[in-house]
């Protein structure tokens, strides 16, 4: 797919910052696709949305408000602060806090109607005691079946008052898969078996096992509540199968600040790690590692003008990167100061950029810097009626 470079956008009010476009319609379509994998409400399957780390860097509030408007009624955040800010925007949905219940924070959870993911026996006892003293409040029991990170050991369940836990409203029993991105990994089946063993003891609880990848492992991994994050934001939940069933959500563009004609052989950037000689043109763009365009991409990745690849040449610096635009100019593409160049687009996704950087798309998303001008496509509250103006 080719796109016109749009030089008119950059020099306006934004000055020389990059432009981050977040497509809320694509996000909503991704959520609906994942919800349908859960069988939809008719089949009893529900799909939550994980919006921790500010919605994987894309803005937890616009993301969650749009998904709530689509019908998503359950959200997961990492910590209480994220939960409070989400609650202020969304009074209705249930909000689970993955990082658990630290001592002395139960009242804070209750005040904002946040549900803790109870990760060890002390947290379970603490929450049950708090609920006895006030009122039974929702929570999740997080059982560790293979991450050794957060969660109760299955043996911990023996010493707990599961009847009391079972009586909590809206109880969820959950676990997290360690290797769901590798469908053939034997740990997937082992974790599934261990999780299935626990479930009858908390029969009334909603069971939740699948993250983005888990939703594509087979119907026995689905249980009652899907818990995707990455795939909502366009990440590929089926990396071993190749084609990405999700719609891209993110487009990242940076303006050209300067176009250099190379008239004699010279080195480019810190460390003189690249050389270029005439005839060549180097464009300097307003994005660097401080904007989350990782330094590991130096001399490895490419940026795109009108779909034409321009290799990243030389080291990426804090605020700038340099790209060889010789071929694009030769192809007749107009490049000048202000021209917006694609760093991430529909054809060069977060997964592609991550591969170039030797990391995962999660790190690309959550590392997106704060300097970009952010533009949201699609309504934030699609299903809600227009608000009447004052
Ligand atoms: C982050 C997280 C998820 C979402 O995982 P994705 O791979 O982004 O779909 C689900 N469950 C838990 C416990 C998590 O920490």
CB 282, CB 257: distance < 8 Å: no
Picking from 300, 292, 304, the residue whose alpha carbon sits closest to that of residue 256 is: 304
CB 380, CB 65: distance < 8 Å: yes
DSSP letter at 135?
A: -
pLDDT in tens, 42-67: 666 799 999 999 999 999 999 999 99
Any atom of ligand 1 within 6 Å of the Cβ of 138: no
For residue 259, what are the contacts with CB-CB under 8 A and spacing of at least 6? Answer: 281, 282, 283, 284, 325, 335, 336, 337
First-to-final CA distance of the chain = 42
Picking from 272, 211, 184, the residue whose alpha carbon sits closest to that of residue 56 is: 211
Backbone angles phi, psi at 81, to 5 degrees: -60, -45
- Model confidence at 389, in pLDDT bands (50, 70, 90)? very low
Cα torsion for 128, 130, 136, 138, to the nearest 10°? -70
pLDDT in tens, 89-115: 999 999 999 999 999 999 999 999 999
Any atom of ligand 1 within 6 Å of the Cβ of 298: no
Q: Quote the CA–CA distance of 48 and 58 in Å, as a whole number.
A: 17
Q: Which domains does the chain have, with CATH numbers?
A: 12-20+249-377 (2.40.37.10), 24-232 (3.20.20.10)
For residue 66, what are its two tokens? 């749009």
Backbone angles phi, psi at 116, to 5 degrees: -75, 145
Q: Which pLDDT value is given to residue 52? A: 98
For residue 159, what are the contacts with CB-CB under 8 A and spacing of at least 6? Answer: 121
Give the position, in ligand 1's atom list, of the atom nearest the Cα of 176: 13
**Secondary structure (3-state) at 53:** helix
Please tell me whether the overall predicted TM-score, pTM, comes out greater than 0.85 for this model: yes
Any atom of ligand 1 within 6 Å of the Cβ of 227: yes
CB 217, CB 183: distance < 8 Å: yes
pLDDT at 388 over 50: no
Q: Which pLDDT value is given to residue 242? A: 78
Active site residues: 52, 270
Hey, which of 95, 98, 174, 214 would you mutate to test ligand 1's pocket, going by the most ligand atoms within 8 Å of its Cβ?
98
Cα→Cα distances 274→254, 267, 338, 366, Å: 21, 6, 25, 29
């Amino acid at each position: 797919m080719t796109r016109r470079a749009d030089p008119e956008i950059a020099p306006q009010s934004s000055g020389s910052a990059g432009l981050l476009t977040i497509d809320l319609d694509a996000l909503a379509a991704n959520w609906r696709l994942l919800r349908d994998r859960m069988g939809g409400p008719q089949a009893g399957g529900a799909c939550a949305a994980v919006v921790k780390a500010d919605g994987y860097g894309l803005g937890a509030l616009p993301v969650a408000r749009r998904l709530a408007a689509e019908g998503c009624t359950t959200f997961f955040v990492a910590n209480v602060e994220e939960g409070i800010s989400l609650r202020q925007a969304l009074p209705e949905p249930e909000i689970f806090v993955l990082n658990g219940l630290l001592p002395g924070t139960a009242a804070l959870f209750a005040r904002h109607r946040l549900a803790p993911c109870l990760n060890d026996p002390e947290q379970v006892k603490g929450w049950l005691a708090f609920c006895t003293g006030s009122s039974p409040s929702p929570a999740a029991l997080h059982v560790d079946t293979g991450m050794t990170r957060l969660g109760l050991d299955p043996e911990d369940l023996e010493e707990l008052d599961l009847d009391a836990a079972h009586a909590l409203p809206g109880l969820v029993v959950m676990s997290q898969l360690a290797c769901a991105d590798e469908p053939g990994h034997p740990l997937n089946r082992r974790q599934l078996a261990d999780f299935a063993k626990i479930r009858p003891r908390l029969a009334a609880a909603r069971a939740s096992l699948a993250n983005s990848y888990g939703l594509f492992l087979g119907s026995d991994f689905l249980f009652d509540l899907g818990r995707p994050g990455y795939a909502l934001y366009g990440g590929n939940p089926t990396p071993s199968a190749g084609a990405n069933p999700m719609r891209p959500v993110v487009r990242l563009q940076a303006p050209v600040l300067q176009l250099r004609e190379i008239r004699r052989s010279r080195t480019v950037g810190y460390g003189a790690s690249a050389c270029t000689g005439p005839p060549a043109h180097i464009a300097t763009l307003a994005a660097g590692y401080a904007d989350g365009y990782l330094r590991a991409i130096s001399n490895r990745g490419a940026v795109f003008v009108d779909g034409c690849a321009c290799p990243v040449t030389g080291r990426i610096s804090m605020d700038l990167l340099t790209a060889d635009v010789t071929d694009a100019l030769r192809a007749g593409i107009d490049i000048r100061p202000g021209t917006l160049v694609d760093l991430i687009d529909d054809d060069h996704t977060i997964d592609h950029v991550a591969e170039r950087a030797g990391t995962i798309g999660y790190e690309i998303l959550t590392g997106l810097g704060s300097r970009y001008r952010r533009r949201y496509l699609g309504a934030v509250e699609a299903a809600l009626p227009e608000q009447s103006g004052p």
